[in-house]
Structure formats: C-alpha cells, structure tokens
C-alpha cells in the first residue's frame, strides 16, 4: 500500500504531534507500506530554520525506510495565536510544492488537515484525519477562550466541516470519541482510536542504573503552556531543604524558557537544571535511561484531561517509574498499568512526597519500571499502531 502522510511537525521538531507522525510513518513502513511524508522544514518551537534548508522551496531526504519531502516555512517562533496561525497557513500553501514529487497514492494520513484533504481530492483516495488533541476544548479548559463565545462557535463550525470531509478520524485517545461524535456530528463507525505509539528499538531500558551521582528527576520535551513547571519548581524548593541528594533536570525548548529561568532565579533553586537543547530521538532515549524518575507535569484543566501524552509511552519503554501530575486519562493509565505514582496537578507537596518515596523505596521504583515494558511491546509499539492503521486503510479503500 502506498501511503502519503502530511504533517507540519516532524522530527527533529519537538512535541507530541511530531513524535506521533514519525511513529506512524515508521510503523506503516515496518508493516510493508511504501510511505512518503510531506513535512515542514524543522521549525518547532524555536523558529530557527537549519542552514541546509534555507533559500529552498523544498528538500527531499530519507529517514529510516521512508521518504520525507520538507517544504518551505518562515523563520517564526511558535508562540502566540497569530504566529501559530501564520505557520499553519504557510505550511498549507508550501506543502503543495511537493505535489510533482508525489507518485501513486492509495491513502492519505493527515495531521495537517487542509493539505491532507487537498491531496486526498487530487489523488482521489481516502483521507484519515489524525487528532492529537482537542484544541478548541483544551483552550476552553485552560481558560484561554470563553465557552460559547462567537469566535469559538465559528471555530467549531470550521472544525465540523473538516471532520465531515475526512473518510476516517483517528484520535490518539478514547476519551476524544464522544466529543468528536456528539459535538462534530461524526458517525462512531468512522472513528478509530490509534495510539501514539513508541519506537522500542530506540526507547529501551538502559544498561546503567541512574547517572551514578545524584537521584535525578527528569522532564524531557517542549516548554509549552500544557505543562506546569511551577509545580516542579515548588516541589524542588521543598525537597531542597529535606534532601540535598535529589536533582531535577528539565530538558527541551519552547516559549516558556525565559519565564522558567526567571522563576528558578526568583526561588534561588540550586537543585534544578534546565538544558535548553534540541536532542535527537536517540539522545533523548539515552537521557531518559540515565534518570531515576520521569515526571509528566500536566497543567490543571477545568475538566479531567482527555488526552494521552506520547511521553508516557516513551517513559514506560525505558523502564523508569513515572510521576504523573494529572486528572483524567493519563492518571488512570498510569494507575492501571502500575507504572508510577499519581498526584493532582499543581500539588507541589504531593509531588515532593512522591519523589522522596521513590528515592527511599528503590525496589518499588524498579518494579514500576519493569511492569510496563511488556505492556508497551504488545499494545503501543510502532509496529502495532502501523498494522492497525494499515487495516483501517484497507477497510475504507
């Protein structure tokens, strides 16, 4: 089967959307599909276009066993509503530059819906619209948009048009199904949950335990508004007076970097280190393997969180215990798989207590880490999600 994937965000870009697209591309390829990816020049979240892409309309390259066609993007930092809208519009246009380089196509998988539907129409093939998050609902839950406002109703109407045009909808979380069906008028038979997945050949248990120095609590990923770094900072401040042998490491890039650095200085934190660096997937996996505990500090939403962070699968794959700060699906998932401890978002005292508990009880931490490797191998490997997506395409072709 010839599958065309269209994704604005693709590694080395940070974020769950980039990870999801890469995992799907490699998963489909491992199941015998011929995969071509149309993606933007690397740009998220920093806006710095690498030198080898500058002054070119597109660039063709190969990753693993599939082809990637990178198309023009402006050097704009991904922050604020307007800049993000410009980036989305720019890719919707530049992605069409790749049309002469795209051959036979049997199906389209699109995390960027506009160009995905355009290519589906041109190639006359079915289109799967990927849903990484419920953007509009998340904006309301975060208090960034007023529920029932005119702007929100207009956006919901536009979203409904997209959902109707897609032949199949593939959310990453089962908690999305009811909203997509009820609110956006999509028949349940057209909705198929396909997990974010994890590349187990890259993310695997480390041969070394910890970093050989201090007990390390690690977050790796985007510095975005979806994560509550204040909870980490306050927990670190509590622990600083209790145990000098615990360090917090925060690695990644994003729009919150300056405010995070300022906050560390305000609190005079000596046990928190920020690594402002974009790492390869292999380097991220190695970093996760060197930590003792991995933390997922989701912000407090008005309603229990419905999404499913791809970080959880990567954290589980390296065999490390997780501290999940969340209400909703991530919390339930960590509890059901017995892969870590859960605390309420924003509760810095509970986070500090959980860190100290795992440091004192190394056997508990090891058991939690080992519990889930077998689970992700059978349920969330990229081979498993690629096979499921191929079966969905075959059913609707």
What is this structure's pTM? 0.80
Alpha-carbon span 395 to 185, nearest angstrom: 21
pLDDT above 70 coverage of the chain, percent: 97
Asked if 105 and 26 sit in the same domain, the reply is yes
Q: Could you tell me if residue 245 is inside a domain?
A: yes
Nearby residues of 19 by Cβ (< 8 Å), 6 or more positions away: 11, 196, 310, 314
Domain enclosing residue 143, as ranges? 2-197+381-396
Same-domain check for residues 157 and 299: no
In a domain, 228, yes or no: yes
Query: CA 327, CA 321: separation in Å to the nearest integer?
Result: 18
Strand partners of residue 253: 222
- Asked if residue 155 and residue 63 are part of one domain, the reply reads yes
178 and 313 housed in the same domain: no
Q: Are 23 and 172 in contact (CB under 8 A)?
A: no
Residue 253 is assigned to a structural domain of this protein = yes
Same domain, 274 and 153: no
Question: What per-residue confidence (pLDDT) applies to 209?
Answer: 55
Q: Hey, is 50 helix, strand or coil?
A: coil
Residues 50 and 183 reside in one and the same domain? yes
Question: How many structural domains is the chain composed of?
Answer: 2
344, 339, 343: which is closest to 364 by C-alpha? 339
Q: What is the pLDDT of residue 156?
A: 84
Same domain, 174 and 308: no
Instruction: For residue 55, tell me if it sits in a domain.
Output: yes
Instruction: Supply the pLDDT for residue 69.
Output: 97
Residue 207 located in a structural domain: no
Q: With contact defined as beta carbons under 8 Å apart, do 306 and 280 qualify?
A: no
Q: Are residues 352 and 318 part of one domain? A: yes
Shared-domain flag, residues 171 and 255: no
Q: Is residue 193 part of a domain?
A: yes
Q: CATH number of the domain that 246 lies in?
A: 3.40.50.2000
CA–CA dist 278, 36 (Å, integer): 25
pLDDT in tens, 46-90: 888 999 998 889 999 998 789 999 999 999 887 766 788 888 899
Answer whether residue 211 shows pLDDT above 70.
Answer: no
Cα–Cα distance, 351 to 341 (Å, whole number)? 9
Based on the fold, state whether residues 272 and 331 are members of the same structural domain. Answer: yes
* Lowest mean pLDDT across 74-83, 227-236, 322-331: 74-83
Give yes or no for residue 127 having a pLDDT over 90: yes
Structural domain includes residue 202? no
pLDDT in tens, 334-388: 898 888 999 999 999 999 999 999 999 888 888 887 767 777 877 788 998 999 9
**Shared domain check, 42 and 188:** yes
């Amino acid at each position: 089967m010839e599958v065309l994937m269209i994704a604005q965000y693709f590694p080395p870009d940070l974020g769950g959307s980039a990870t999801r697209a890469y995992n799907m591309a490699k998963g489909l390829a491992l199941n015998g599909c011929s995969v071509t990816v149309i993606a933007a020049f690397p740009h998220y979240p920093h806006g710095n276009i690498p030198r080898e892409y500058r002054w070119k309309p597109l660039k063709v390259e190969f990753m693993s066993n599939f082809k990637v066609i990178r198309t023009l993007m402006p050097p704009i930092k991904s922050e604020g509503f307007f800049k993000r809208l410009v980036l989305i519009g720019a890719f919707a246009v530049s992605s069409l530059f790749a049309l002469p380089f795209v051959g036979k196509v049997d199906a389209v998988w699109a995390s960027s819906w506009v160009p995905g539907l355009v290519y589906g129409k041109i190639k006359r093939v079915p289109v799967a619209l990927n849903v990484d998050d419920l953007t509009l609902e998340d904006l309301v839950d975060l208090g960034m948009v007023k529920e029932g406002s005119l702007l929100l109703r207009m956006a919901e109407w536009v979203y409904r048009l997209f959902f109707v045009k897609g032949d199949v909808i593939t959310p990453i979380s089962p908690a999305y199904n009811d909203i997509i069906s009820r609110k956006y008028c999509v028949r349940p038979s057209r909705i198929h949950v396909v997990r974010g997945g994890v590349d187990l050949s890259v993310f695997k248990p480390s041969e070394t335990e910890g970093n050989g120095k201090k007990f390390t609590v690690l977050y790796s990923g985007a510095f975005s508004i979806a994560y509550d770094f204040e909870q980490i900072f306050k927990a670190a401040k509590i622990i600083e007076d209790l145990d000098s042998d615990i360090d917090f490491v925060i690695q990644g890039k994003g729009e919150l970097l300056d405010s995070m650095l300022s906050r560390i200085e305000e609190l005079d934190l000596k046990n928190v280190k920020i690594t402002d660096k974009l790492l390869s997937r292999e380097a991220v996996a190695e970093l996760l393997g060197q930590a003792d505990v991995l933390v997922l500090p989701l912000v407090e939403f008005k309603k229990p969180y419905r999404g499913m962070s791809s970080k959880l699968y990567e954290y589980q794959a390296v065999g490390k215990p997780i501290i999940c700060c969340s209400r909703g699906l991530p919390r339930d998932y960590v509890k059901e798989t017995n892969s870590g401890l859960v605390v309420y978002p924003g509760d810095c005292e509970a986070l500090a207590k959980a860190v100290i508990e795992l440091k004192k009880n190394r056997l508990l931490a090891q058991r939690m880490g080992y519990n889930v490797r077998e689970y992700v191998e059978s349920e969330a490997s990229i081979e498993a999600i690629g096979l499921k997506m191929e079966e969905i395409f075959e059913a609707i072709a």
